[in-house]
């Protein structure tokens, strides 16, 4: 999600302002909404106000941009949870602080230069690639700007850019900084290691009764039975409401006649198609077929498999090229065509099988038509019945009474926990209604719960029938689970202990070769291990140990699967020569330089905000983003 937010930034200045939010928000707790603000003000920096209209527009633009990146619409509540309003307001406050400073310094830009900047904006280019006045009008309307308002805003942007460029425009990272960071990022290491596996430790025997009892008593909380709840529910769906017996055969037959094309299958053919680079090559192959060679033999000569030539089962209308469709449907079963000039290439066709046209008779599809008609009728009735059920619930009717009144079944299910699991650990067959499990554990016996959406057109009512409290289980109830957990913990302990013993010997002067001879393990070597690049046996934890010290550093770490331990020693390090002219160093230079510029301007903005004072209309902001302030 944070990656999506980062990608929402546009120009480098926009990226800068997003990066500066932490500086802006650092002082916001000092002052809150004070008397004397206009009711349309979102924030004030010194004498410069940020209007609620401006904040609302910026927030909606940011929210829409993020929605496009996530490929789904976000609600204002979701936007607030992701910090979008804070980003929008933080950017506006930072801009206001810079606007104050630009005004104090009497910075400005000529109308001619401002017009040139606007006309050079790629957003306002037409189809010809040059500035298009109608494109300008279109973009401004789409973003809710009047032209005069946009010109004022663009002038302020130009003035802020002057200030930013003056402060940090020519700042570049020192070459020593680049060299140090490049060495840090590009260094690789060679490591010798032993792999301590569960097999090398040996099999863990079942614990004695005394050990098992002691372990269980120490870890009893981990084996508690969770709370379980039983519910009953009533589902109102088109399927449960449908009354197939009410549909008469005459209506079903009329539907069959009306939808006759749905039950008709035209003639289809299983077709193979062999393409050729030229018409001449296709005609030569067709001559070979005419001379007795089979289509399969021709495929073998050209090293073609069935996947290379099979079109599948095709009706005449399935062919994108009508010429090929016509040719295929003139062939007998098993026959091959001559050279056929298609739209894209010249081909030879072969018909493997002909499936004649067919029509499913009424008696074969009668039941499904009747069910479909009954379901359609139920869909028309379901909203009316929803209101009736809700009225009955409001009147105190029990689920059983409602079920009997409307001929809807009330279903009980076995007890389940907050993960939807039964006491035996299996999944409970619960209706797929969002919020059912969570709602069950937020409710209680005798509580009337809100109706849930069930599927696309259904509704579900439920009640808690029984609450089975969580409890401590006896050892006899969970003996197998306790034994399994103890053995897993014991294996972890022995792996750690064994690996630590090996490391102690290594640090005391035993060589890897001698240690391998003593333990029967193999000395392994891994080369070119890069920082922050887990691979093979080396987890991120192991890589942190590898780069945690100089050559000669030894350590113990978990392997990538977590089930084995690495006893390792760094045997070599390699740092590539620094090449200031390389593209990679150029990109790093730009990145570090930009970070330094951002940091400098961030400190400047913080100083400007501290000096001018920042006040936030918390109530107004909360109203804009759709949240009621308590």
Q: 392 and 446 share a domain? A: yes
How much is the pLDDT for 213? 95
Reported as a pLDDT band with limits 50, 70 and 90, residue 198 is very high
* Exposure letters 389-420 (e unless 16+ CB within 10 A, then b): beebbeeeeebeebbeeeebebbebebbbeee
pLDDT, mean of residues 149-169: 85
Q: What is the domain range of residue 383?
A: 225-245+365-472
Residue 500 has pLDDT above 80, yes or no: yes
User: Structure pTM?
Assistant: 0.55
Reported as a pLDDT band with limits 50, 70 and 90, residue 10 is very low
How much is the pLDDT for 627? 64
Q: 392 and 328 share a domain? A: no
Reported as a pLDDT band with limits 50, 70 and 90, residue 628 is low
How much is the pLDDT for 484? 95
Q: 397 and 494 share a domain? A: no
Share of the chain above pLDDT 70, in %: 93
User: Within a domain: residue 630?
Assistant: no
Most confident of 13-22, 23-32, 49-58, 516-525: 516-525
Most confident of 8-17, 22-31, 477-486, 611-620: 477-486
Q: Compare 419 and 66 and report the one with higher pLDDT.
A: 419
Length of the chain: 630
Q: For residues 198 and 451, what is the distance between their CA atoms, to the nearest angstrom?
A: 53
Give the domain CATH number at 103.
Answer: 1.10.4030.10
Residue 235's contacts (CB-CB under 8 Å, 6 or more residues apart) are 408, 411, 431, 454, 458, 459, 460
Structure tokens at 7: 């990608």
Number of domains in the chain: 5
User: Within a domain: residue 16?
Assistant: yes
Q: 385 and 529 share a domain? A: no
Q: For residues 464 and 470, what is the distance between their CA atoms, to the nearest angstrom?
A: 16
Q: 165 and 49 share a domain? A: yes
Q: Compare 515 and 73 and report the one with higher pLDDT.
A: 515
Residue 151 has pLDDT above 90, yes or no: no
Residue 295: name the closest of 323, 273, 325 by CA: 273
How much is the pLDDT for 415? 95
Please report which helix (H) or strand (E) contains residue 228, including its range. Answer: strand 228-236
Out of 417, 451, 472, a domain closes at 472
Given the structure tokens 């950017």, which residue do they identify? 91
Give the domain CATH number at 384.
Answer: 3.10.50
Give the least confident one: 23-37, 129-143, 207-221, 516-530.
23-37
Give the model confidence (pLDDT) of 286-342 as tens digits.
Answer: 999 998 899 999 999 888 988 889 998 999 988 888 899 999 999 999 999 999 998
Reported as a pLDDT band with limits 50, 70 and 90, residue 609 is confident
Q: 64 and 129 share a domain? A: yes
Mean pLDDT, the chain, integer: 86
Q: 621 and 561 share a domain? A: no
- Classify residue 324 by its DSSP letter: H
Give the model confidence (pLDDT) of 554-599 as tens digits.
Answer: 999 999 988 999 999 999 999 999 988 899 888 888 888 888 988 8
How much is the pLDDT for 287? 92
How much is the pLDDT for 429? 92
Residue 66 has pLDDT above 80, yes or no: yes
Q: 48 and 157 share a domain? A: yes
Residue 498: name the closest of 213, 84, 242, 198 by CA: 198
Q: 239 and 377 share a domain? A: yes
Given the structure tokens 């400190």, which residue do they identify? 603
How much is the pLDDT for 37? 53
Reported as a pLDDT band with limits 50, 70 and 90, residue 499 is very high
């Amino acid at each position: 999600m944070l990656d999506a937010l980062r990608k929402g930034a546009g120009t480098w200045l926009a990226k800068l302002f997003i990066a500066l939010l932490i500086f802006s928000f650092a002082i916001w707790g000092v002052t809150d909404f004070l008397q004397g603000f206009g009711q349309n003000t979102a924030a004030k920096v010194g004498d410069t106000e940020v209007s609620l209209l401006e904040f609302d527009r910026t927030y909606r633009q940011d929210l829409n941009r993020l929605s496009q990146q996530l490929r789904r619409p976000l609600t204002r509540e979701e936007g607030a949870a992701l910090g979008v309003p804070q980003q929008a307001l933080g950017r506006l406050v930072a801009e206001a602080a810079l606007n104050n400073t630009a005004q104090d310094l009497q910075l400005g830009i000529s109308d001619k230069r401002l017009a040139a900047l606007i006309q050079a904006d790629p957003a306002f280019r037409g189809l010809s690639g040059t500035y298009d006045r109608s494109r300008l009008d279109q973009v401004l309307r789409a973003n809710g700007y009047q032209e005069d308002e946009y010109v004022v805003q663009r002038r302020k942007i130009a003035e802020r850019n002057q200030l930013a460029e003056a402060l940090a425009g020519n700042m570049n990272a020192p070459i020593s900084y680049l060299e140090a960071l490049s060495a840090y990022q590009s260094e690789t290491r060679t490591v010798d290691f032993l792999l301590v596996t569960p097999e090398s430790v040996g099999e863990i025997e079942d614990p004695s009764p005394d050990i098992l009892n002691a372990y269980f008593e120490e870890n009893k909380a981990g084996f508690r039975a969770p709370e379980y709840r039983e519910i009953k529910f009533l589902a109102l769906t088109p399927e449960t409401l449908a009354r197939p017996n009410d549909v008469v055969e005459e209506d079903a037959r009329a539907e069959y006649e009306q939808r006759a094309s749905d039950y008709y299958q035209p003639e289809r053919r299983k077709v193979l198609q062999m393409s050729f680079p030229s018409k001449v090559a296709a005609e030569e192959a067709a001559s070979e077929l005419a001379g007795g060679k089979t289509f399969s033999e021709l495929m073998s000569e050209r090293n073609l498999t069935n996947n290379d030539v099979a079109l599948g089962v095709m009706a005449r209308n399935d062919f994108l090229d009508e010429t090929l469709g016509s040719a295929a449907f003139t062939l007998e079963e098993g026959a091959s065509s001559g050279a056929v000039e298609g739209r894209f290439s010249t081909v030879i066709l072969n018909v493997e099988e002909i499936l004649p046209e067919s029509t499913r008779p009424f008696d074969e599809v009668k039941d499904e038509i009747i069910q479909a008609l009954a379901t359609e009728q139920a869909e028309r009735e379901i909203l009316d019945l929803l209101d009736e059920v809700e009225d009955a619930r409001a009147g105190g009717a029990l689920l059983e009474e409602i079920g009997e009144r409307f001929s809807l079944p009330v279903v009980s299910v076995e007890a389940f926990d907050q993960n939807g699991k039964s006491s035996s650990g299996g999944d409970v067959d619960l209706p797929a209604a969002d919020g059912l499990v969570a709602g069950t554990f937020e409710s209680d016996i005798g509580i009337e719960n809100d109706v849930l959406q069930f599927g696309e057109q259904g509704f579900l009512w439920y009640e808690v029938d029984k609450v089975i409290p969580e409890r401590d289980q006896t050892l006899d109830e969970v003996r197998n689970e306790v034994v399994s957990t103890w053995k897993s913990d014991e294996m972890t302990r022995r792996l750690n202990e064994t690996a630590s013993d090996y490391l102690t010997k290594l640090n005391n002067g035993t060589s890897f070769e001698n240690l391998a001879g003593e333990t029967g393990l193999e000395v392994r070597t891994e080369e070119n291990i890069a920082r922050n690049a887990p691979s093979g046996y080396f987890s991120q934890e192991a890589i942190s140990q590898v780069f945690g010290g100089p050559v000669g550093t030894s350590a113990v770490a978990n392997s990538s699967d977590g089930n084995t331990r690495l006893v390792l020693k760094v045997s070599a390090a390699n740092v590539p020569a620094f090449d200031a002219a390389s593209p990679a160093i150029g990109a790093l230079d730009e990145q570090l330089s930009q970070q330094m510029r951002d940091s400098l301007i961030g400190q400047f903005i913080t100083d400007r905000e501290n000096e001018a004072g920042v006040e936030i209309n918390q109530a107004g902001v909360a109203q804009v983003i759709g949240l009621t302030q308590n």
